[in-house]
Structure 1
Amino acid sequence: MADWAPVVVGVVLFILLSPGLLFQLPGHTRHVEFGSFKTNGKAIVIHTLIFFTLFTIFILALKIHIYAG
């Protein structure tokens, strides 16, 4: 049986944490912008760190497992 938790959690976090989609931290004109659909280098770095932190917490600390089959 394959563990699908890393794939599912990664895809969901990638969609939710895409800079400019739901929010962007830091924004172009303000610290936090919502739904701007624009991004910059700083926002990409910050969202990458947030993604890595949440992914690590969900997979390693909470030990989430999804088995199919």
Structure 2
Amino acid sequence: MSDWGPVFVAVVLFVLLSPGLLIQVPGRNRFIEFGNLQTSGVSIFVHSILYLALIAIFLLAIGIHVYLGS
């Protein structure tokens, strides 16, 4: 059996935390902007720190596991 939990968590967080796709923190005109499809170096840094923190919480602290296959 393969543990697909880390793969699913990483893909979902990557899609949700892509700067400018759904949200952007900090935005160009406001602190939070939604769906503007633009990005900056600061927002890439903030989103990467959030990604690192959330993936560490979900995979190390909570320990999400998804087993698929036989």
TM-score, structure 1 normalization = 0.96
Distance apart, 1:36 and its partner CA: 0.5
Task: Give matches, 1:1-16, under 5 Å.
Answer: 1-16=1-16
One-letter amino acid of the structure 2 residue matched with residue 29 of structure 1: N
Distance apart, 1:2 and its partner CA: 1.6
Per the alignment, residue 56 of structure 2 pairs with 56
Aligned equivalents of 2:14 and 2:63: distance in 1? 19
**CA RMSD after TM alignment:** 0.6
Moved over 4 A (4+): none
Aligned equivalents of 1:6 and 1:44: distance in 2? 22
Aligned equivalents of 2:5 and 2:59: distance in 1? 7
CA-to-partner distance for each residue in 1:27-56, whole Å, 9 max, x for gaps? Answer: 111111111100000000000000010001
- Asked if 1:39 is matched to 2:39, the reply is yes
Is the strand fraction higher in 1 or 2?
2
Aligned equivalents of 1:46 and 1:2: distance in 2? 32
Question: Which consecutive residues of structure 2, in runs of 5 or more, have no partner in the other structure?
Answer: none
TM-score, structure 2 normalization = 0.95
Q: Percentage identity across aligned positions? A: 54
Question: Which consecutive residues of structure 1, in runs of 5 or more, have no partner in the other structure?
Answer: none
